[in-house]
Structure 1
Amino acid sequence: MTAMDPARPQTVLGMLSGTSHDAVDVAAAHLRFTDPHTLALRPLGLHSEPFPAALRERIAAALPPARVELAEVCRLDTELGQFFGAVAARADTALTGRRAELLASHGQTVHHWVDGGRARGTLQLGAAAWIARATGLPVLSDLRTADIARGGQGAPLVSLLDALWLLGEGTRRGALNLGGIANITVPGPGTAPRDVLAYDLGPANALIDAAVTAASGGAERMDTDGARAARGRPGTALLRRLLAEPYYRLPPPKSTGKELFHPGYLDTVLRPGDPTGDDLVATLTELTAHLVGTACRTHRLTELVVSGGGVRNPVLLDRVRAAAAPARVVTSAAHGLPAPAKEAYLFALLGYLSAHGLPGTLPSATGAGAPTVLGSWTPGAGPLRLPPPHPGAPRRLIIEQP
């Protein structure tokens, strides 16, 4: 990477595997400053590849509350890095014709250490050196630790994208991601455009997937098209018990993950006579919708922009719409970014910002003591040469259509 004119579009790849650990997504984007405080992002497309079944099973076996030998952690870090590198190289060919200039890799989260409501550490696997070797690109990785080191939650990282793109001054618009965990970004109590709140609401697909996997004996991993929730009936008593989870009463900023909402979590809540099978899936779907609806009322939202894998579940999305009313619910495609690709574009944005010496976090959202430049760089085929730091932080992001 060489010094460059910030007005010239730079081609960036953003890559992640989410908490559902079912696939790797790579988005390509052109990013540039149109003026000192306005960023423009032109989406170039999304490339997704499912994990090989054996690798996915090993990721699942390594997640909390499992106890894993360090030898297996080392093997997973290497093999995930090799797989990520192969996927990224194919994405670069398919989306940019091998013209990408840098890549930001979130990696695969295997543990997010939260103690007493404070994030103490985080671990994402997928060794960056293997990705750099496969692509020849400089790779930004370990994107959460710097924020945690400044006292933040290291999450949700999407808050900066939401603040620059969707939460303009005077709006009561919020942004919701329905991944394994549901997180939300909303206007903060102040008046500055970058004064936002962002936090993990609780489970979205994580517990739904666990219930489907158990009900199908492992033959299904998710509620495809919401078919099971559509057939089931939510259990009122179980829903009340689920909503008693202490995490929901913690004030933001806060973060969570499969350290809490893992498949065994349901075993601690369920009692004889509780809903099972499709009725349990319907109850868990209603749980996520209830959490979203409560947040919409608490933050007085008039519009909610939804993205993430949960958008592909029409029953979940319908229940979110009903619970969020009277707030209008739209997907992120209505504002220019396809819902399944938003998080991958986020990491492209964070890679670009870090390359230019710019923070990728908002203290009001993560709880950190100061804005933080994120990640660690691994050189690609040549020496690592970053552009000069950009003067001033962006205040606005616009989406340019191809």
Structure 2
Amino acid sequence: MHPHIEKLYISARKSSRLIIGLMSGTSLDGLDVALCKVTGAGTNTQINVLHFTTVEYDQDYKNKIKQVFAKRECDLELVTLLHPWVGKLHGTMVSKCLQTWKVNASDIDVIASHGQTIYHCPKTQHNHPDFDNGTLQIGDSDQIAVTTGITTIGDFRQKHIAAGAEGAPLAVYGDYLYFSSADETRILLNMGGIANLTFLPKSGAMRDVFSSDIGPGNTIMDAYVQQYFSPLHYDDNANIAKSGKVNADLLKALCNNAFFNLSMPKTTGPEVFNLAYLQRAQQKSNTLNLNHEDVLATLNTFTARVIANAINECAQNNSVVYASGGGIHNPLLMAQLKELCPSIKAFKNTDDLGINPDAKEAVLFAILANECLAAEQQSLSNHTQGIAGITMGKVSFPD
């Protein structure tokens, strides 16, 4: 037996494993690194986050990724070069985190890497009848493994597509395994660049559990701030949006998209919801001369309304929302959600469930890696997406 296979076998049989979860989202703010002690598997999964940090990306990283990010046409040579470059950079970041935490790389069972999404194209978005769903994440897991000396599991979304689904969202698996409750119906709301939710009925029935993208979270707001309020990267504390007024005509145009009429589960990305989408909405609503503060106020309300509509669509009596992602730091957005969702019993953060809301997505991929290593097959249909008993993740050895 190859030593690497033997080590994986030993890891799979352990009662608990040390797994580093990595998440780099569409906001491009940094690499989330979560060192997790994962005990058990399946519905018996227990998580203890030992360390968490976000390693901020410098402007060079952001500039390089933005040249290919969510662009239908881009430099293929640059994409090819970025794939190993991002992987090596992420590996270096992990090694520095381990040094800071005084943790030996040899003690880590595996790294779980999401990679950096640069293009997401479900069949509902692209116009190629000969093709099905597609998604592309760069950040080669071989580079991470070689750089850190730690076996790395990555490229999770491709199996989701191979099994007939859309590659996103993957939150249904980790959310169900870790956050389900027999005592209350929960909606796990993640507000990153794109917002998504997982519906967890207190019945615990797998057939009723689903995850779905909702629409834009912070992606258009952040892009707008970066374009017109540089050097700011986002609207801190929603101060800019609070100083503006919502424009009803622009809001109506923004909300007029076929995606919002699709049944959940569904998926989308910044390939659709971006500054070009905003500009088209402004053209249609004759609001191109609107001041920047009013645009941001309207974008904030647009995001709140889209999220609230999805929550209200699936909420049951006394449902509790547990929020995570960058959107939780936007007080205007959170206030609007509470106002627009009167049937929700309470809005809380995943801190109340024992997981730092900023770390949740990185922890999710640690859970997926743990399932790849140690779990019996689960069957989650996610309603119409037809997922049953799939194992996600490709294994990269360090030598």
TM-score scaled by length of structure 1 = 0.88
1:160-239 to structure 2, matched below 5 A, reads 160-169=173-182, 171-187=184-200, 192-193=205-206, 195-216=208-229, 218-239=230-251
1:41-52 to structure 2, matched below 5 A, reads 41-52=47-58
CA contact (8 A) 1:354 1:360 kept: no
What is the aligned partner in structure 1 of residue 122 from structure 2? 114
1:273 counterpart (268, 282, 287): 287
Q: For residue 273 of structure 1, report the CA deviation from its aligned partner.
A: 3.0
Q: Aligned partners of 2:145, 2:196: CA distance in 1, in Å?
A: 30
AA aligned to 2:22 is M
CA contact (8 A) 1:198 1:365 kept: no
AA aligned to 1:91 is C
1:244 counterpart (228, 252, 256): 256
CA contact (8 A) 2:182 2:202 kept: no
1:27 counterpart (31, 34, 44): 34
Q: Secondary structure at the match of 2:358?
A: helix
Q: Aligned partners of 2:112, 2:376: CA distance in 1, in Å?
A: 14
1:195-344 to structure 2, matched below 5 A, reads 195-216=208-229, 218-271=230-283, 272-273=286-287, 275-301=290-316, 302-327=319-344, 328-344=346-362
Does 332-341 or 38-47 show the bigger shift? 38-47
Q: Secondary structure at the match of 1:340?
A: coil
1:125-144 to structure 2, matched below 5 A, reads 125-144=138-157
Q: For residue 18 of structure 1, report the CA deviation from its aligned partner.
A: 0.2
AA aligned to 2:190 is N
What is the aligned partner in structure 2 of residue 91 from structure 1? 97
CA contact (8 A) 1:207 1:263 kept: yes
Q: For residue 324 of structure 1, report the CA deviation from its aligned partner.
A: 2.3
AA aligned to 1:278 is E
Q: Aligned partners of 1:193, 1:93: CA distance in 2, in Å?
A: 41
Compared with structure 1, are the counterparts of its residues 346 and 163 closer, same or farther at alpha carbon in structure 2 (3 Å cutoff)?
Answer: same
Does 312-321 or 3-12 show the bigger shift? 3-12
CA contact (8 A) 1:157 1:361 kept: no
Q: Secondary structure at the match of 1:339?
A: coil
2:381 counterpart (341, 349, 363): 363
- 1:99-126: CA deviation from partner (whole Å, max 9, x where unpaired): 2211010000001121236961111000
CA contact (8 A) 2:215 2:306 kept: yes
Q: Aligned partners of 1:371, 1:266: CA distance in 2, in Å?
A: 40
CA contact (8 A) 2:199 2:211 kept: yes
Q: Aligned partners of 2:157, 2:341: CA distance in 1, in Å?
A: 30
Q: For residue 193 of structure 1, report the CA deviation from its aligned partner.
A: 4.5
AA aligned to 2:49 is P
Q: For residue 255 of structure 1, report the CA deviation from its aligned partner.
A: 0.5
Q: For residue 370 of structure 1, report the CA deviation from its aligned partner.
A: 1.9
TM-score scaled by length of structure 2 = 0.89
1:80 counterpart (70, 82, 86): 86
- 1:319-352: CA deviation from partner (whole Å, max 9, x where unpaired): 2222222311001101110110100111111111
What is the aligned partner in structure 2 of residue 389 from structure 1? none
Q: For residue 294 of structure 1, report the CA deviation from its aligned partner.
A: 1.5
Q: Aligned partners of 1:86, 1:361: CA distance in 2, in Å?
A: 36
Compared with structure 1, are the counterparts of its residues 206 and 5 closer, same or farther at alpha carbon in structure 2 (3 Å cutoff)?
Answer: closer
> Which segments of 5 or more consecutive residues in structure 2 lack a partner in the other structure?
1-6, 127-131
CA contact (8 A) 1:28 1:96 kept: no
Q: Secondary structure at the match of 2:311?
A: helix
Q: For residue 316 of structure 1, report the CA deviation from its aligned partner.
A: 1.8
Compared with structure 1, are the counterparts of its residues 350 and 240 closer, same or farther at alpha carbon in structure 2 (3 Å cutoff)?
Answer: same
CA contact (8 A) 1:10 1:30 kept: yes
Q: Aligned partners of 1:369, 1:347: CA distance in 2, in Å?
A: 18
Compared with structure 1, are the counterparts of its residues 229 and 151 closer, same or farther at alpha carbon in structure 2 (3 Å cutoff)?
Answer: same
Compared with structure 1, are the counterparts of its residues 176 and 361 closer, same or farther at alpha carbon in structure 2 (3 Å cutoff)?
Answer: farther
CA contact (8 A) 2:70 2:120 kept: no
Q: For residue 94 of structure 1, report the CA deviation from its aligned partner.
A: 3.1
AA aligned to 2:60 is A
Q: For residue 91 of structure 1, report the CA deviation from its aligned partner.
A: 2.1
What is the aligned-residue identity percentage?
A: 28
Q: CA RMSD in A?
A: 2.3
Q: Which has the higher contact order (CA 8 A, sep 6+)?
A: 1
CA contact (8 A) 2:69 2:119 kept: yes
Q: Aligned partners of 2:245, 2:66: CA distance in 1, in Å?
A: 29
Q: For residue 189 of structure 1, report the CA deviation from its aligned partner.
A: 11
1:351 counterpart (348, 351, 369): 369
Q: Aligned partners of 1:308, 1:173: CA distance in 2, in Å?
A: 17
AA aligned to 2:152 is V
Q: For residue 6 of structure 1, report the CA deviation from its aligned partner.
A: 4.4
| Higher helix fraction (1 or 2) | 2
Q: Aligned partners of 1:120, 1:189: CA distance in 2, in Å?
A: 32
Q: Aligned partners of 2:165, 2:313: CA distance in 1, in Å?
A: 23
- 1:126-151: CA deviation from partner (whole Å, max 9, x where unpaired): 01111111111111111001111111
Q: For residue 50 of structure 1, report the CA deviation from its aligned partner.
A: 1.4
AA aligned to 1:290 is R
